[in-house]
Chain A
């Protein structure tokens, strides 16, 4: 499927997180799919190498032979990124991360998110800062979901978070990148990877995030809730690659007025 011209392009430097190198800059969630088979197919189509999971109580008394998410999304093949979704306090988030580390045999890469309220699922940044500090001191590698405030983003980086993940819009809203200016500022100030996490609705939203210079995008609902999740996963893969290439290529300057693209010399009229 590779276009011949692609071969002529200089190689991009890969995404590096916690010392591991990734070719894909698309990170995907595993929630809201019809079943595990669809989850597996969508993730395959997305090309993602980092996949988020949630940590919840085991359903006791259910058929114990029922397939487990980690049988489909195997930790041998994918980097599993446990999240703290649903946590509204630093305490719950830290507890969740510790359980995740035990669950994944000491794997200490986590996506920290501490929510503030149900209506917007906006991050509670004071609790996020408390949790981030505690987790970092405990040896976790923290990728942090946060508001798009450039100063807080920098603070999280200085504390030792390994990736900054501002929201583009509220989780599950599909509204796209609402504050391009802030995302741009966060990218410009950051020495660690910046990934837009939450808010992407369709392929062009993902492209915009990458055109702003983000190192990657994390999404779930935009793929899972599309009419055809597998096709949307593929669209997102291409959108991320397109946006990344556009960012590397450097866009033309915007101008207020037209400027002819055909020469004016040699006209015969």
Chain B
């Protein structure tokens, strides 16, 4: 299925969860936050949260800023 990941089209397996997405991106265990369709998906729910085709997913982290 296709989702929108950080503003770009991204292909992933049906039934994928937030956790499997992060694994595929080699981001598992990194300090980051995930939002799906503008709602936070808490870390504790990454393993269960199933993504749907067309979901808009944002993966963000902290960078330098004032």
Q: List residues of chain A with CB under 8 Å of any chain B CB.
A: 29-33, 39, 52-58, 60, 64, 68-70, 80, 82-83, 85, 95, 98-100, 102-105, 171-172, 198, 218-221
Contact = CB atoms under 8 A, between A and B. Distances in A.
18 contacts: A31-B64, A33-B64, A52-B65, A56-B60, A56-B63, A57-B7, A58-B6, A58-B59, A64-B25, A64-B30, A68-B31, A69-B61, A69-B62, A95-B35, A98-B40, A99-B58, A100-B33, A102-B43
B20 to A, nearest CB: 15
Contacts of B5: 60
A31 B27 contact: no
Interface string B2-41: 0001110000000000000000011100111111001010
User: Does more than half of chain A's interface fall in helix, strand or loop, or is it mixed?
Assistant: mixed
A32 B64 CA distance: 7
Given A57-B59, A64-B26, A64-B30, A102 B42 contact: yes
A24 B43 CA distance: 33
Contacts, number: 101
Interface of B: 5-7, 25-27, 30-35, 38, 40, 42-43, 58-66
A148 B63 CA distance: 28
Given A53-B65, A57-B60, A60-B59, A68 B30 contact: yes
A54 B64 contact: yes
Contacts of B66: 29-32, 52, 54, 83, 85, 171-172, 198, 218-221
